[in-house]
């Protein structure tokens, strides 16, 4: 500890007297009145204008852990980096949370939830630290720090502001006052008493207790340019006064773990339980190696991609949920649970590395999900997607909902044999595109047996039931000495342009007589 600073100097450093004492803050944000074992979690994104799939993964874990324990899940906007555009970026986060059904509960009593609006809290804690000799104003400029860095490098020392390199850590009150008089703007730094030769043990729910060298850096707590806190300091103040019990965050925060643990100890506050999650990886198509999803290279790193492309949000969540709680898929297959929300997620089992997101696997989750939908729900999802994200083609396809419904109802009536070829809303419309005349393309490669097609037109009666229709198909096959399947194939290709379709009789019924006659007639011309 250094000597504490007097209140008037602290007020000058912070640009105003602190609003609260620590005791007042403790009273303002009392421990929450929740049942034993309830988790208080928060998703704390920086508003970058981009919701990363890894962010969604973390938010799902936060939300799930809170929900399953009747706890509280908050959304906190970490907007202390004022260089970035905030409002629209927050909209992207809020709307993604909403769409994925990750409801949060930002109770006013523990807010505000924008860090930029919590300055009074940070300044009050910083003032307390300066008054008790655990923090100090530092007047180093960017140029000063660059010089220090270069010297450290040249001499083979670790870089950073620590020990003898922390020029201002022991300035006297007069020296501080003089610099303030000269108009210099300080940051507030931690007066670190850590020694890297000692170890500090930090507790992670998955990894257990991890030993690290103690932090000896006088890290910045409050920045000089805008008086806002650094992540480290904001995390300390916010997660304490929001009464967060569990911090779910990416493994990239592990190196800061000893610092954070030391900050909580210094305040004599109980640190939250940490769950450092794995990055979300993929197998690189070129190298075949597993690597982190890249914002730059991989469109699927952006949550927006799944919405635009029409992936069921439930499938994305189920799949991410299964990565975090790996027994889920099995429990679901056994019929023990219906959705990820019913399955208990165990913090200890959340993978600490190598979480792989494989689009093929997502396809499977998606097909399974769509196969569970009643036709009206399927129609509603497809229409909603097309209205929002579809182009002219998809909008045209959903314009006549009765026709769309009939098309999508094919092979959905037998619960044991629901078709599983629909993967996304977009791809669903593509798969059934041939039902619309404007999208139907004559298959020019197929060698039609025109006798068969002509004969079909002769005997075709739209009023035929399936048996009557099939009897006619068999009769045609006999007449021309071909297999039943050949007759069906000729019809199938003529009507759909494809060699592979769901049930042919259903297609004929849904298309209706005009289309059937028109398409076959077109080929016979
Ligand atoms: N704003 C930090 C991030 O986006 C939050 C980390 C945390 O959850 O504590 O990585």
- Is residue 45 within 8 A of residue 154, CB to CB? The reply is no
Q: How far is the CA of 470 from the centre of ligand 1 (A)?
A: 63
From CA 221, how far away is CA 231, in angstroms rounded? 8
- pLDDT tens for residues 45-61? 999 888 999 999 999 99
Mean pLDDT of the chain: 96
- Closest alpha carbon to 266 in 219, 208, 211, 197: 219
| Per-residue pLDDT, 517 | 97
Residues 6 or more apart from 314 whose CB is under 8 A from it?
Answer: 339, 369
Ligand 1 pocket: which of 61, 204, 250 to mutate (most atoms within 8 A of CB): 250
Q: How far is the CA of 145 from the centre of ligand 1 (A)?
A: 26
From CA 123, how far away is CA 21, in angstroms rounded? 10
**Averaged pLDDT for residues 410-419:** 89
From CA 397, how far away is CA 404, in angstroms rounded? 7
From CA 397, how far away is CA 379, in angstroms rounded? 11
Distances (CA, A) of 328 to 97, 280, 317: 22, 18, 12
Confidence band for 417, pLDDT divided at 50, 70 and 90: confident
| Long-range pairs, 398-407, Cβ under 8 A, ≥24 | 398/429, 403/435, 403/510, 404/379, 405/375, 405/376, 405/379, 406/510, 407/432, 407/435, 407/510
Residues 6 or more apart from 316 whose CB is under 8 A from it?
Answer: 56, 100, 306, 362, 365
Q: How far is the CA of 163 from the centre of ligand 1 (A)?
A: 28
Ligand 1 pocket: which of 45, 238, 244 to mutate (most atoms within 8 A of CB): 45
- Closest alpha carbon to 188 in 256, 131, 143: 131
Cβ neighbour number for residue 108 with a 10 Å cutoff:
7
Q: How far is the CA of 144 from the centre of ligand 1 (A)?
A: 29
164, two tokens? 């003898």
Where in the chain are the domains? 7-25+119-277, 375-420, 450-524
| Per-residue pLDDT, 47 | 92
Position 85 pLDDT exceeds 90: no
Residue % of the chain over a pLDDT of 90: 96
- pLDDT tens for residues 293-337? 999 999 999 999 999 999 999 999 999 999 999 999 999 999 999
CATH class of 7-25+119-277: alpha beta
DSSP 165-184: G-TTTT--HHHHHHHHHTT-
Give SS3 for 410.
Answer: coil
Give SS3 for 328.
Answer: helix
The predicted model scores a pTM of: 0.94
From CA 299, how far away is CA 360, in angstroms rounded? 15
Q: How far is the CA of 496 from the centre of ligand 1 (A)?
A: 51
Position 87 pLDDT exceeds 90: no
Position 165 pLDDT exceeds 70: yes
Residues with CB under 6 A from ligand 1: 44-46, 78, 235, 247, 249
- pLDDT tens for residues 383-394? 999 999 999 999
- pLDDT tens for residues 97-156? 999 999 999 999 999 999 999 999 999 999 999 999 999 999 999 999 999 999 999 999
Place of tokens 């860090």: 115
From CA 338, how far away is CA 37, in angstroms rounded? 24
What are the backbone angles phi and psi of residue 202, rounded to the nearest 5°? -120, 140
From CA 98, how far away is CA 218, in angstroms rounded? 40
Ligand 1 pocket: which of 234, 253, 259, 295 to mutate (most atoms within 8 A of CB): 253
Q: How far is the CA of 314 from the centre of ligand 1 (A)?
A: 25
**Averaged pLDDT for residues 511-515:** 97
| Per-residue pLDDT, 337 | 96
Distances (CA, A) of 264 to 23, 42, 123, 239, 520: 16, 18, 17, 10, 77
CATH architecture of the domain with range 450-524: Orthogonal Bundle (1.10)
Place of tokens 């006088």: 218
How many residues make up the chain in this entry? 525
| Per-residue pLDDT, 82 | 65
Residue % of the chain over a pLDDT of 70: 99
- Is residue 488 within 8 A of residue 466, CB to CB? The reply is no
| Per-residue pLDDT, 352 | 93
Position 84 pLDDT exceeds 80: no
| Per-residue pLDDT, 416 | 83
| Per-residue pLDDT, 83 | 65
Query: Atom of ligand 1 at shortest distance to CA of 58?
Result: 8
Position 86 pLDDT exceeds 80: no
| Per-residue pLDDT, 62 | 98
- Closest alpha carbon to 442 in 429, 453, 457: 453
Confidence band for 2, pLDDT divided at 50, 70 and 90: very high
């Amino acid at each position: 500890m250094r000597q504490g600073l007097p209140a008037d100097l602290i007020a000058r450093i912070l640009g105003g007297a602190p609003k609260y004492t620590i005791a007042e803050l403790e009273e303002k944000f009392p421990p929450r009145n929740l049942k034993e074992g309830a988790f208080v979690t928060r998703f704390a994104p920086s508003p970058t204008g981009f919701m990363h799939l890894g962010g969604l993964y973390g938010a799902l874990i936060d939300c799930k852990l809170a929900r399953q324990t009747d706890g509280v899940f908050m959304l906190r906007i970490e907007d202390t980096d004022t260089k970035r555009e905030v409002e629209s970026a927050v909209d992207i986060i809020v709307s993604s949370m909403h769409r994925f059904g990750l409801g949060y509960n930002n109770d006013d009593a523990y807010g505000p939830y924008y860090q930029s609006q919590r300055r009074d809290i940070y300044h009050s804690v910083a003032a307390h630290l300066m008054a008790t000799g655990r923090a100090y104003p530092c007047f180093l400029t960017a140029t000063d720090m660059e010089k220090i860095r270069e010297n450290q490098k040249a001499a083979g020392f670790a870089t950073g502001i620590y020990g003898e390199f922390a020029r201002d850590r022991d300035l006297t009150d007069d020296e501080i006052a003089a610099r303030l008089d000269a108009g210099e703007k300080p940051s507030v730094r931690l007066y670190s008493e850590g020694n890297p030769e000692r170890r500090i043990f930090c507790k992670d729910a998955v990894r257990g207790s991890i030993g690290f060298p103690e932090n000896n850096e006088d890290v910045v707590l409050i920045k000089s340019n805008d008086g806002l806190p650094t992540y480290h300091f904001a995390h300390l103040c916010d997660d304490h006064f929001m009464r967060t019990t569990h911090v779910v965050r990416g493994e990239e925060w592990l190196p800061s773990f000893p610092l954070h643990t030391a900050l909580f100890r210094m305040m004599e506050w109980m640190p939250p339980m940490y769950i450092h999650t794995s990055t979300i990886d993929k197998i690189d198509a070129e190298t075949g190696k597993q690597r982190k999803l890249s914002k730059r290279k991989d469109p699927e790193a952006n949550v927006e991609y799944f919405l635009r492309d029409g992936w069921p949000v439930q499938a994305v969540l189920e799949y991410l949920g299964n990565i975090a709680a790996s027994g889920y898929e099995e429990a679901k297959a056994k019929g023990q649970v219906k959705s990820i929300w019913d399955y208990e997620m165990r913090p200890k089992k959340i993978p600490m590395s190598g979480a792989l997101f494989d689009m093929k696997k997502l396809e499977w989750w998606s097909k399974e999900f769509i196969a569970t939908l009643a036709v009206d729900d399927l129609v509603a999802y497809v229409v909603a997607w097309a209205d929002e994200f579809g182009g002219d083609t998809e909008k045209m396809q959903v314009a006549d909902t009765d026709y769309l419904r009939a098309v999508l109802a094919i092979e959905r009536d037998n619960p044991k044999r629901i078709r599983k070829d629909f993967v996304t809303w977009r791809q669903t419309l593509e798969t059934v595109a041939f039902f619309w005349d404007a999208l139907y393309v004559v298959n020019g490669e197929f060698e039609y047996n025109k006798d068969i097609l002509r004969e079909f037109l002769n005997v075709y009666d739209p009023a035929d039931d399936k048996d009557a229709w099939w009897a006619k198909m068999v009769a045609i096959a006999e007449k021309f000495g071909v297999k039943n399947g050949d007759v069906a194939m000729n019809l199938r290709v003529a009507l759909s342009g494809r060699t592979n379709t769901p049930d042919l009789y259903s297609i004929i019924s849904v298309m209706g007589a005009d289309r059937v006659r028109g398409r076959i007639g077109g080929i016979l011309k």
